[in-house]
Amino acid sequence: MALKRSSVVVLIVVIAAAVLGYRQFGTHHAPAGQPPLVHLNAGAFETLRTDFNGAQDSIRLIVLLSPT
């Protein structure tokens, strides 16, 4: 019986963490005060290049994330 109860508690904690994680990181909206997110595709590279080169006096960072 104790094993079953602990399994239920672990399951509830995992579900709660998943819900909180989705609410925090699962949206496609930038936080207030930040520019909107940009999805890179073939047509967006020129805009990225222009914005990147135009910010020479700032710290610039490009981060690529891949699910694989």
pLDDT of residue 27: 67
Residues 6+ apart with CB under 8 A from 30: 36, 37
pLDDT digit of tens for each residue in the chain (68 aa)?
A: 567 888 899 999 999 999 888 877 776 777 788 888 777 788 888 888 898 899 999 999 888 888 77
pLDDT of residue 13: 94
Any idea where the domains of the chain sit in the sequence?
2-54
- Predicted structure pTM score: 0.42
Please count the other Cβ atoms lying within 10 Å of the Cβ belonging to residue 52: 13
C-alpha 38/C-alpha 49 separation (Å) is 13
pLDDT of residue 14: 94
Cα angle, residue 67 at apex, residues 47 and 8 outer, rounded to 5°: 135
pLDDT of residue 65: 81
